[in-house]
A and B are shown apart, each in its own frame.
Chain A
Amino acid sequence: MWHRLIDWFSDVRERYNIVRDFNRSAKNSFISGQAPTLLEARTTVGDFGFRHAFSKFMAGGFRIKALSGQPLEKKELIEIGKVVLDNEELVRKLVALGWDTLEVHDVKGFNGCKWALKNYAKIGGYIQ
């Protein structure tokens, strides 16, 4: 019972840390002029079709949204998604911490791309 509670709290902390680290790095690279667009990560509901056994209820979406600066083309949105998906360690961590959907959104409108993380987590088996 206690270890479950401790696990739950540590998961919450890790989820918070990963979003915070991403936002901090994105902010630093935007300020230093390396990135033309400021990106921000946040947790969303996600896609119910992409759910797996470790999905968090109503918090399975990891959304990367362009906040300001140069608007992104569809090609660039896909490129950002692919960079995240190619990082095996990051995808595994996202899956283990309860995220199931990766969403990349542009500055304006609701246009964006989304991927099922379970298809990219190469953990030696299939996640249901």
Chain B
Amino acid sequence: MTNILLQIVADTNYTALKPKSSAPMQSKIWFWTTIVELAIIIFLIVKHKRQAKINYDSNIENALKNSKTANVDMDNVMDSINKSRDLYKQLSTKCHPDRFLDKDLNNKANEIFQEITKNQRNYKRLLELKETAQIQLNITI
């Protein structure tokens, strides 16, 4: 009996003293994890400093801040996508300055035509210009 007990004790001692083979591997993993974390922190600091370096003009900053809350008429955008091309063609032919021989009318037509060309993809503005052209140039569109 005593022999058996001694043998067990001897076995446990042996296992307890046995060196762990996975310890260096674990330390390696922790080492690389720390390196990666450090690299990420350095990258974020550099990125933050680079962004802080960009000094914008106050006008640009104000313009961007105001434009964040600006109301954009999406219905007008969709109308411009679908209808502005035809209306522009119609207006540009009807309001062309070469159609008006009278000097006053020619000047007015020139102004309107320039506005039409400038706003050729803005349906709402083109409709306004259509009304202006009908009144000022005495034409029916």
**Interface positions of A (Cβ within 8 A of B):** 10-11, 14, 18, 21-22, 24-26, 28-29, 34-36, 39, 53-54, 79-80, 82-84, 86-87, 89-90, 92-93, 95-97, 123-125, 127-128
Contacts of A93 in B (CB 8 A): 67-68, 70, 72
CB distance from B23 to the nearest CB of A (A): 39
In-complex Cβ contact of B74 among A21, A97, A125 (8 A): A21
Residue of A nearest to B71 (CB): A89
Of the residues B56, B74, B83, B121, contact of A82 by C-beta under 8 Å:
B121
What are 27 A-B pairs at a CB distance below 8 A? A10-B68, A14-B68, A21-B74, A28-B75, A28-B78, A29-B78, A29-B79, A29-B82, A34-B79, A39-B81, A54-B64, A82-B121, A83-B77, A83-B80, A83-B84, A87-B77, A87-B122, A89-B72, A90-B77, A93-B70, A93-B72, A95-B64, A96-B65, A123-B60, A124-B59, A125-B59, A125-B60
Decide yes or no whether B13 CB sits under 8 A from chain A: no
Chain A proximity mask over B49-71: 1 for CB below 8 Å, otherwise 0: 00100101101100111011110
Closest 3 CB pairs of A and B: A92-B67, A25-B74, A86-B121
Contact B70 A89 (CB under 8 A): yes
Q: Is A124's CB under 8 angstroms from B60's CB? A: yes
Residue in B51, B78, B85, B122 whose beta carbon sits within 8 Å of that of A86 in the complex: B122
Given A34-B83, A83-B81, A96-B67, 18 other A-B contacts at CB below 8 A?
Answer: A25-B74, A34-B78, A35-B81, A39-B81, A53-B51, A54-B64, A80-B81, A83-B77, A86-B120, A87-B122, A90-B72, A92-B67, A95-B67, A96-B65, A96-B68, A123-B60, A124-B59, A125-B59
Chain B facing A: main interface SS: helix
The SS class assigned to the A binding surface is helix
Closest Cβ of chain B to A89, distance in Å, is 6
Closest to B68 in A: A96
Which B80-121 residues sit within 8 Å CB-CB of chain A?
Answer: 80-85, 120-121
Given A86-B122, A92-B64: A125 and B56 interface contact (C-beta under 8 Å): yes
Cβ distance B85 to chain A, nearest Cβ, rounded Å: 7
**With A29-B79, A89-B67: A128-B85 Cβ-Cβ less than 8 Å:** no
Decide if A79 touches B85 in the complex (CB within 8 Å).
Answer: yes
A11 to B64, CA, bound (A): 12
Residues in B whose Cβ lies below 8 Å from that of A24: 74
The CA of A95 and the CA of B59, in the complex, are separated in Å by 15
